[in-house]
Amino acid sequence: MDNKNIKKTKEELTKNIKDSEEALKELRKKCKHSDTVIKNVELESSTFKLRKVCDLCGEHVGFPTNDELKDNGYMQ
């Protein structure tokens, strides 16, 4: 693969990522987040934090309460 092809392919792939992100946003708008789970979520700083996440679309819907942490075995 020559440099020109690499650049062209990179641009196509980058566009695909943007299109997918847009599609995911639209999907998450349609979702009612009726099925949530407590999960370790990787944040932008590469640290992991427990968050309440929609099990269907993956949207972060909030922070788990202490009761929810207990119910999911994260607290005693």
Counting Cα atoms < 13 Å in the Cβ hemisphere of 57 gives: 16
What minimum distance in Å lies between the beta carbon of 19 and Zn ion?
Answer: 20
Taking CA 18 as the corner, what is the angle to CA 3 and CA 28, rounded to the nearest 5 degrees?
A: 155
Report H helices in the chain: 3-30, 66-71
What minimum distance in Å lies between the beta carbon of 2 and Zn ion?
Answer: 43
Residues that bind Zn ion (CB under 5 A): 31, 33, 54, 56-57, 59
Nearer to Zn ion, 62 or 71 (CB): 62
What minimum distance in Å lies between the beta carbon of 57 and Zn ion?
Answer: 3
